[in-house]
Amino acid sequence: MQYTHLGRTGLIVSRLCLGTMMFGPIRSEKESHTMLDKAFDLGINFIDTANMYGSQDFAGETEKIIGNWLAQGNGRREQIVLTTKVFGPMGHGVNDRGLSAYHIRQACENSLRRLKTDHIDIYFMHHIDRGEPTSADKESWGLPDRQISRPSHLKHETPWEEIWQAMELLVQQGKVLYIGSSNFAGWHIAQACEKAAARSFLGLTCEQSIYNLSNRTVELEVIPACREYGLGLIAWSPLAVGLLAGKLPEGEIGRRRHLDETIKTHHEKLIAYDSLCKELGEKPADVALAWLLHNPVLTAPIIGPRTVAQLTGSLRALEIHLNDGIMGRLEKIWPGPGGEAPEAYAW
């Protein structure tokens, strides 16, 4: 296994991060524990989860599964870097979501209880606080359709002063060690970091964004912001929900329907990509991960293997070297936004 520092911090994490979103709804607790055991044996010390994962009844099922695994002891908790997230709805109450100090405190206590641990190593804000959820959000989250008014002179987001005060308290209490962001825009990262610096607080240490060969929007402003402020980038959906993994396994019906239109749209690119991977003698999934790992800002991609064999096979990505010629060919197949802003679109 290879390791690196998490951004500008002294924390050392594995170059592959194990994602756990399927623990509970797709994978049983026994299967999930087998996956965690193997990852631990392989030297993967970076485990990513969220309080929302695992069920539709706000039960935090995935955190409970991980907590039961940690409770088995044998040095598990002491040897892993454990993350979880706050923001999404965890109940039907009007304060059971978002980034208010009220919800951050409550969500952290509940996550600690489910995870059966006394601290969270990296506590992610799962999203920038956008205020009142949309009707679509309420429907998908199972929330009552209540309208919440807010004084017109105030922003819709929870103010950073409130967020950082709540996070600082958790750090002071030893319940959280580092803070991360997820799905932030570049200007959100800059704003959050500047507000934290004004309080002499470490602030954000990493950003978790969607990033893969077919979705490179973060190259415009998020990656430059991470580099400027010393944040490690953690890539979710590194295989674009299976688009970059080669032949989609049978039985993934739901994913197949979701991918059909995307596959049609990228048909020619996928043919060229598959041909290049065959020429290299490597699996498409491993090449996609290796491409991400070549970015110096990237700390780790989050992998979500379906089987232990896939988990073990993912380590091949750490050994693949993509020279300038291959990187150039990948750029032609999967062109990015044209570089960083503003040069990508202006003189």
The strand pairing partners of 301, in sequence order, are 235
Q: What is the C-alpha radius of gyration for the chain, rounded to an integer number of angstroms?
A: 20
Q: How many CB atoms lie within 10 A of CB 138?
A: 15
How many Å apart are CA 26 and CA 90, to the nearest integer?
A: 20
Largest distance between two CA atoms of the chain: 60
Pseudo-torsion of CA 291, 296, 300, 305, nearest 10°?
10
Q: Which two three-digit tokens encode residue 264? A: 């049609």
Secondary structure (3-state) at 6: coil
Ramachandran quadrant class, 108 (left: phi over 0; alpha: psi -120 to 50; beta: rest): alpha
The strand pairing partners of 17, in sequence order, are 302
- With b for 16 or more beta-carbon neighbours within 10 A and e for fewer, the 104-114 pattern comes to bbbbbebbbeb
H or E element in which residue 229 lies:
helix 222-229
CB 319 within 8 A of CB 281: no
Which residues are tagged catalytic? Answer: 53
Q: Which two three-digit tokens encode residue 324? A: 């300038």
Residue 104 half-sphere exposure, CB side, CA atoms within 13 Å?
Answer: 25
Size of the chain, expressed as the number of residues it contains: 347
